[in-house]
Amino acid sequence: MAEALKLWRNAQLYTCDGHSRIIARGALLTRGSRIEWVGDEAAVPGAAAHEVHDLSGAWVTPGLVDSHTHLVFAGTRATEYAERLRGRSYEEIALSGGGILTTVRAVRAASEEQLFDESAPRLASLLSEGVTTVEIKSGYGLTLADEAKMLRVARSLGRSFPVTVRTTLLAAHTLPPEYQGRADEYIDVVAREWLPELAGQGLVDAVDVFCERMAFSVAQAARLFEAARTLGLPVKMHAEQLSNLGGTLMAAAAGALSCDHLEYAGEAEAAALARAGTVAVLLPIAYYCLAPERRPPLDALRAHRVALAVASDCNPGSAPAASLLTAMSMATRLFGLTAEEALLGATRHAARALGLEYERGALAPGQAADFVAWNVRSIEELGYWIGFNPRRTVVRAAEVLRWPNPNA
């Protein structure tokens, strides 16, 4: 049977494509799961659609893309959060065996089913806000079997929910206790054994590394990137989050898809990201929770025209939040992004941070038919509401999702 042709009419389109066009009386034609045509309703091309959907004049954007999450995990770190409120730092907690390692212990102890069940509500929360593509990292297993378990859960969430999941191997998140004092050996095992094995199982779409004093050095990250390159896998980096180690400069030179966090980056990093076309992924919820002394160098990033993405960073330590809309609002208030920048950061630029710019993140012919109709008077409301979800209708792969929103 021919693929269904559907007309989605009576919409105010914010396309987020190269020109971020606004089409006041817009319409979309979809064929199968892709967008075929976008434009003014008066100019819809001839062929008779099999179905016509009236979007009631709503603002319509591309489906949101959360380009940085650690949403598969077990347990919480609420106790450590309380310790931080009493003055202990994130680094201090990590160096005494807590932090990421607390979650590693919980993930190792959890069965695959348990991990799925604990993670599913966080994914559901993102989806309820119009997220149609989400990146999920490993990094709380830190053995081959437990990293594989996390990645399988991420894949299985993608099959169980109406969302596109991209998986990232973050075995280089922190040094597991078994390798204490042997970080170089650990990186070698990940690079030479785990990465090819997990990639061979189809579990890895990209490779990430936490480049930081308390985690891995620039040289270690470079070795991992080299192994990823050999396998044809894209790379990204948790870079300059708590200090400036020079990770961003190396990652950009290696053609990384993105460098994420960047609180301690400066002019040189912004220039390097721009030269390489690497996306700067801003994580304002982690900034809010950790309250570092510096914020990402927005003026330099803008001056060099670096593409800015905004992501939730959903994780139990630095960002206990499963809301991309909250991250977008925080990006405006804490980092000074405009609402339009925040929206591009959660659509086109986020897709680019995942290497998906030709498939997702814009309302344009050839893109996935993923879009959201919002109950808002203007696009500014998307970098504005906190704890209120103005999502009306989510369309994924040209199908309307049955996902009730009591606020709409």
Sign of CA dihedral 92, 221, 228, 352: positive
244 makes contact with ligand NIG (CB under 6 A): no
Per-residue three-class SS string for 213-269? CCCECHHHHHHHHHHHHHCCCCEEEEECCCCCCCHHHHHHHCCCCEEEECCCCCHHH
3-class secondary structure, 27:
strand
Ramachandran region of residue 227, left (φ > 0), alpha (ψ -120 to 50) or beta?
alpha
- Exactly one of 315, 332, 389, 393 binds ligand NIG (CB under 6 A); that residue is 315
Burial of 404 per CB tally in 10 Å (0-12, 13-18, 19+): exposed
Residue 208 is classified by DSSP as E
Would you count residue 317 as binding ligand NIG (CB under 6 A)? Answer: yes
Shortest separation between residue 285's beta carbon and Fe ion, angstroms? 10
Given ligand NIG, Fe ion, none, residue 316, with its beta carbon under 5 to 8 Å by kind, binds ligand NIG
On whether the CB atoms of residues 109 and 146 are closer than 8 A, the answer is no
Binders in 55-74 for ligand NIG, by CB under 6 A? 70
Report in angstroms how near the CB of residue 81 gets to Fe ion at its nearest: 16
Q: Which residue is nearest to ligand NIG (CB)?
A: 317
C-beta of 8 vs 90, nearer to ligand NIG = 90
Output 15 or 167, the one with its CB closest to Fe ion.
167
Q: Say whether residue 210 binds ligand NIG (CB under 6 A).
A: yes
Share in percent of the chain as helix, strand, coil (round to 5): 40, 25, 40
What is each CA distance from 383 to 162, 213, 338, in whole angstroms? 24, 33, 8
Choose between 60 and 353: whose C-beta lies nearer to ligand NIG.
353
Q: Of 61 and 174, which CB lies nearer to Fe ion in the complex structure?
A: 174
CB of 281 to Fe ion, least distance (A): 9
Q: Which does 241 bind (CB under 5 to 8 A by kind): Fe ion, ligand NIG, none?
A: ligand NIG
Nearer CB in complex with ligand NIG: 238/348: 238
Structure tokens at 221: 């990250």
Residues within window 87-106 making contact with ligand NIG, judged by CB under 6 A: 99-100, 103
CB of 181 to Fe ion, least distance (A): 25
| The entry of Fe ion, ligand NIG, none that residue 39 binds, CB within 5 to 8 Å by partner kind | none
Q: CA-CA distances (angstroms) from residue 223 to 8, 37, 47, 176, 249?
A: 48, 44, 54, 18, 15
Interacting residue ranges for Fe ion, rule: CB under 5 A: 313
Nearest approach, Cβ of residue 319 and ligand NIG (Å): 6
How many other CB atoms are found less than 10 A from the CB of residue 57? Answer: 13
136 lies in the binding site for ligand NIG (CB under 6 A): no
CA distances from 276 to 96, 140, 207, 296 (A): 37, 30, 18, 18
Which residues face 400 on adjacent strands? 395
Minimal distance in Å, beta carbon 202 to ligand NIG? 25
103 binds, among Fe ion, ligand NIG, none (CB under 5 to 8 A by kind): ligand NIG
Binding track, positions 275-314, relative to ligand NIG; x by CB under 6 A: -----------x--------------------------x-
Helices then strands, each counted (H, E), the chain: 15, 16
Identify the burial level of 209 via C-beta atoms within 10 angstroms of its C-beta, where 0-12 means exposed, 13-18 middle and 19 or more buried. Answer: buried
Report what 341 binds from Fe ion, ligand NIG, none; CB cut-off 5-8 Å by kind: none
Give 86 or 377: the residue with its C-beta nearer to ligand NIG: 86
Radius of gyration of the chain (CA): 21
Question: Which spans of this chain sit near ligand NIG (rule: CB under 6 A)?
Answer: 70, 99-100, 103, 210, 238, 241, 286, 313, 315-318
